[in-house]
């Protein structure tokens, strides 16, 4: 019977029994190895110990060589670093002054531990925002630091400083097409979804300097963060062309830095439209109201919504978000920003 498909096993043969200890060092004393399907001999257990030692040396060597330069660092390949960055990104639920949830979007901490960046269009009709952390803890924001409607960007302040770690803006401005990027946001209300892609192009339109990129985003991703392969913020994920494949757009972080420099660092005002007389009482919400993973659908139409009052739904019913996705429903672009 032919033995071509035998699993390969590595059989190390050491001529020097002290190969891996003592002055001679292990690696130089390593003479040859076979990678044929030989029977395991009595010396195999000793060989495996030496193999382990050799592997340890090899890993140490690679670490020393690999760690010597930052040029090889790749944030998009560093899952722990991406996880850490996600702690500074939030799913935003936007409420009006009557405590109705009107939109879902994304935002991230930048510049200071209590400053949150997002798109202006995400919060423009809201009275306050509940930012839901990666670990599903809700935090309230009612104060607007500064906004730029034309650039579609805004900076909000958390009601209480929780000491979140601000993401670092890229200040080099050196962006190249094909460079890897990581997007973190809440497409379709799926909190802190990570996607990886690359920069496709740059172009200017209506005074906006867009970064076009491929990392998938969707309704709900507005205000999310776009990071380069060093893990630094290069943009705010803002828009996507609905009728195309992966033509996604981010506002460049330079615009956010300009906005931050314009702000005096202390003055804030209540965000959005507060109807009626000035109401000094705190807007209220309870964590129980945040039915995570629940959406509203109606018999007609193929969109799901984050509240039953959106788009004049007929006999709306509440179902699991994942169920709605499985059934082929898509996020409503009005209540998912
Ligand atoms: Zn809707």
Report the C-alpha gap between 271 and 123 in whole angstroms. 8
Q: Please give the pLDDT value at position 41.
A: 42
pTM across the whole model = 0.74
What is the CA(249)–ligand 1 centre distance, in A? 22
| Domain positions in the chain | 12-65, 73-291, 293-337
What is the CA(312)–ligand 1 centre distance, in A? 9
What is the CA(201)–ligand 1 centre distance, in A? 31
What is the CA(63)–ligand 1 centre distance, in A? 51
What is the CA(306)–ligand 1 centre distance, in A? 6
Question: CATH for 73-291?
Answer: 2.40.10.120
What is the CA(219)–ligand 1 centre distance, in A? 10
What is the CA(337)–ligand 1 centre distance, in A? 9
Judge whether 152 and 120 are in contact, CB under 8 Å. Answer: yes
Report the C-alpha gap between 110 and 188 in whole angstroms. 23
What is the CA(311)–ligand 1 centre distance, in A? 6
The neighbourhood of ligand 1, an ion, using CB within 5 A, equals: 305, 310, 332, 334-335
Mean pLDDT of 300-305: 89
Per residue in 94-134, pLDDT (tens digit) is 998 888 889 999 999 999 999 999 999 999 989 999 999 99
Mean pLDDT of 133-159: 95
Per residue in 264-294, pLDDT (tens digit) is 999 999 986 544 333 444 444 444 444 467 8
What is the CA(110)–ligand 1 centre distance, in A? 29
Report the C-alpha gap between 106 and 223 in whole angstroms. 5
User: Would the pLDDT of 315 be above 70?
Assistant: yes
What is the CA(272)–ligand 1 centre distance, in A? 19
What is the CA(17)–ligand 1 centre distance, in A? 73
What is the CA(72)–ligand 1 centre distance, in A? 44
Of the listed ranges 12-16, 196-200, 220-224, the one predicted with least confidence: 12-16
Q: Is the model more confident about 39 or about 234? A: 234
Q: β-pairing, 233-240 with 224-227?
A: antiparallel
Of the listed ranges 92-96, 198-202, 234-238, the one predicted with least confidence: 92-96
What is the CA(144)–ligand 1 centre distance, in A? 25
* CA-based radius of gyration for the chain: 27
What is the CA(322)–ligand 1 centre distance, in A? 16
Secondary structure (H, E, C), the chain: CCCCCCCCCCEEEECCCCCCCCCCCCCCCEEEEECCCCCCCCCHHHHHHHHHHHHHHHHHHHHHHHCCCHHHCCHHHCHHHHHHHHCCEEEEEEECCCCCEEEEEEEEEECCCCEEEECHHHHCCCCEEEEECCCCCEEEEEEEEEEECCCCEEEEEECCCCCCCCECECCCCCCCCCCEEEEEECHHHCCCEEEEEEEEEEEEECCEEEEEECCCCCCCCCCEEEECCCCCEEEEEEEECCCCCCCEEEEEHHHHHHHHHHCCCCCCEECCCCCCCCCCCCCCCCHHHCCCCEEEECCCCCEEECCCCHHHCCCCEEEEHHHHHHCCCEECCCCEC
What is the CA(21)–ligand 1 centre distance, in A? 69
Of the listed ranges 30-44, 175-189, 239-253, 259-273, the one predicted with least confidence: 30-44
What is the CA(102)–ligand 1 centre distance, in A? 8
* Cβ atoms within 10 Å of 303's Cβ, excluding its own: 22
């Amino acid at each position: 019977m032919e033995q071509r498909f035998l699993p390969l096993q590595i059989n190390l043969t050491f001529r020097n029994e002290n190969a891996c200890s003592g002055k001679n060092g292990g690696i130089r004393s390593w003479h040859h190895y076979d990678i044929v399907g030989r029977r395991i001999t009595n010396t195999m257990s000793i060989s495996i110990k030496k193999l382990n030692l050799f592997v340890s040396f090899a890993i140490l060597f690679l670490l020393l060589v690999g760690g010597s330069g930052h040029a090889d660092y790749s944030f998009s390949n560093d899952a722990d670093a991406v996880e850490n960055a996600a702690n500074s990104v939030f799913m935003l639920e936007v409420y009006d002054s009557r405590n109705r949830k009107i939109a879902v979007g994304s935002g991230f901490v930048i510049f200071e531990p209590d400053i949150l960046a997002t798109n202006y269009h995400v919060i423009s009709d809201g009275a306050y925002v509940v930012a839901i952390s990666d670990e599903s803890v809700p935090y309230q924001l009612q104060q607007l630091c500064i906004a730029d409607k034309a650039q579609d960007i805004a900076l909000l302040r958390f009601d209480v400083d929780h000491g979140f770690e601000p993401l670092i803006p890229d200040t080099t401005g050196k962006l190249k097409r094909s460079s890897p990027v990581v997007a973190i946001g809440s497409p379709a209300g799926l909190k802190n979804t990570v996607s990886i892609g690359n920069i496709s192009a740059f172009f200017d339109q209506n005074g906006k300097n867009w970064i076009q990129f491929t990392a998938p985003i969707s309704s709900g991703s507005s205000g999310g963060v776009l990071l380069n392969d060093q893990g630094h913020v290069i943009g705010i994920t803002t828009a996507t062309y609905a009728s195309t494949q992966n033509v996604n757009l981010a506002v460049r972080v330079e615009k956010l830095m300009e906005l931050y420099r314009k702000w005096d660092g202390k003055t804030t005002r209540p965000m959005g439209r507060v109807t009626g007389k000035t109401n000094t009482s705190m807007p209220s919400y309870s964590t129980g109201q945040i039915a995570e993973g629940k959406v509203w659908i109606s018999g007609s139409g193929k969109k799901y919504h984050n509240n039953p009052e959106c788009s004049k739904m007929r006999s709306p019913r509440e179902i699991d978000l994942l169920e709605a996705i499985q059934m082929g429903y898509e996020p409503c672009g009005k209540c998912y920003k």
